[in-house]
Amino acid sequence: MLLALLLCYAGFTALCLSTDRHHGELLHSKPTPRRRLGLRVSGWLLLPGSIWPAVAVAGWSQGLVEWCAVLMLSALLLVLLLPYRPRLALGLAGAGLLACPVAAFVTL
């Protein structure tokens, strides 16, 4: 479930960075249209892609339930971190993406 959590959090962070407000707050610049599109596409690919590790570990019935829980947990974590520790929220997403291969190796 760790891999699903990391992918969900990275997906939500990418979607968050595709908005002008959060991109400017975290990266101190306005996103270009190309960057905005890239962040949206990657965010929307990471979220459904995070279903695979959950289903691979627990099967379809339990895996989808656990994936929904991980989806809500990652969104809650991002929502709670953005107002108080926005740089930490961005750092966790980057560290999570770097840890994904390790989590995939441990999971499978």
Q: What is the rounded distance in angstroms from the CA atom of residue 35 to the CA atom of residue 43?
A: 12
Q: Which residue range forms the structural domain that includes residue 53? A: 2-107
User: For residue 63, what are the CA distances in angstroms to 9, 20, 40, 70?
Assistant: 17, 34, 25, 10
Q: Is the pLDDT of residue 107 over 90?
A: no
Helix (H) or strand (E) holding 9: helix 2-17
Q: What is the pLDDT of residues 25-38, one digit of tens each?
A: 889 999 999 999 99
Q: Which two three-digit tokens encode residue 92?
A: 């966790």
Q: Which of 99, 6, 91, 93 is nearest to 52 (CA)?
A: 6
Q: What is the rounded distance in angstroms from the CA atom of residue 48 to the CA atom of residue 33?
A: 23
Q: Is the pLDDT of residue 108 over 70?
A: no
Confidence bin at 71 (pLDDT 50/70/90) = very high
Q: According to DSSP H, which parts of 18-85 are helical?
A: 20-27, 33-49, 51-84
Q: Is the pLDDT of residue 42 over 80?
A: yes
Specify the number of domains making up the chain.
1
Question: Are the C-beta atoms of residues 8 and 100 closer than 8 Å to each other?
Answer: no
Confidence bin at 91 (pLDDT 50/70/90) = very high
pLDDT at 106: 84
Is the pTM higher than 0.85? The answer reads yes
Q: Is the pLDDT of residue 9 over 90?
A: yes
